[in-house]
Amino acid sequence: MNEVLDKKYNYLTNFFKTAIEQQRLFHSLILYGSNNYIQYAVALEIARLLNCKEDGSENCSCQNCRWIRENRHPAVMTISKIDNKTDSSKTVISEEQINYVLNTLFNSSDFHRVFIFCDAQMKNLSNSELKEYNEFKSTGFNPPQENNNDEIWYPKGINTTCFSTVAANAMLKSIEEPQSDVTFIFLTNNKDDILQTIQSRSQPFSVPDTKIEDYRTDFFSGYFKNYPQFNINSALDFANCLYSYQTENNLEPVYIIDSIQYYLLELIKANYSNGDLVKIIYKDIEKTQQTKKMLEAYIKEQTAYEDLAFYFCKR
């Protein structure tokens, strides 16, 4: 495994490593979160593990691992509005690009083909973006394009603006009837930015940012002692607990939800070999993302917490 990724995202890398070893990796994945560089590194690590001819170790020097680190493997392609273009458009992932991808699937291959979809641009990076870029480089992977003077390749989350409905729909048959040696990976800030027809045929994974926070979970963890079961009689108590802790400590509501997400991610770390439970946890993380959206839409905190509590009881 990649040491940098494994250190910060071991629950995620362990999950993918186990899924690949047991040949249970879903053929279409959505990686979502705020740090698209890290998503891209995770996608490349998945491609490396799928194609490694040795033991998948970080220092493996097999030809496939070297090629993927250098971002020049013939079967691992980055598809964006500026990468692997087959037409002159620089504003969208075009239908012509998708047809090119699909046509490659008719050719036999000795490799496991991986197609990574994202938005991207060449730009002068801000200080925060440069920090993300340097973290990406520390994983040992290269971007798909070399730096052009002061401009650096910068990945962004895919959405329906740069990945049109027409282009996305052209892929549906290949996603519905997958080949065993093909994996599609979509990078986005929010999985709802991807066409619903692709969402429904893909497995989503949250890739949180790497910033360190002192998350407290002790004030609500007792309600999760029988997780994934959740006592409906305790739903309102749970919601009141969240609201009380927020107001008593003068916290932003997003901190409360981030703390729950952190707790759920820790559960993945402890249970990554339990595939069924991990799926439930990821669905619960998706629900907490929806709760954040409710709060952003100025829904009352108490109402948002109650909605989340009753979800846990009824799912």
Give the helix ranges, DSSP H, for 52-193. Answer: 63-70, 95-104, 127-138, 165-169, 172-176
> In Å, how far are 5, 20, 117 from 39, measured between CA atoms?
10, 18, 11
Numbers of helices and strands, H then E, in the chain: 12, 7
CATH class, range 3-206? alpha beta
Residue-by-residue pLDDT tens, the chain, 315 positions: 688 888 777 777 888 888 898 888 999 999 998 899 999 999 999 999 999 999 888 889 999 999 999 999 999 999 999 999 887 877 999 999 999 999 999 998 999 999 999 999 999 999 989 999 999 999 999 999 998 888 999 999 999 999 989 999 999 999 999 899 999 999 999 888 999 999 999 988 888 765 555 789 999 999 999 999 999 999 999 999 999 999 999 999 989 998 998 899 889 878 878 889 988 998 898 899 899 889 988 999 999 999 999 999 988
Task: Give pTM, 2 decimals.
Answer: 0.78
Integer-rounded Cα radius of gyration of the chain: 20
Closest by Cα among 314, 300, 308 to 236:
308
Is 161 buried (19+), middle (13-18) or exposed (0-12) by CB count in 10 A? exposed
Query: Bridge-partner residues for 151, per DSSP?
Result: 148
Rounding to the nearest 10 degrees, give the CA dihedral for residues 130, 78, 195, 119: 30
3-state secondary structure of 249: coil
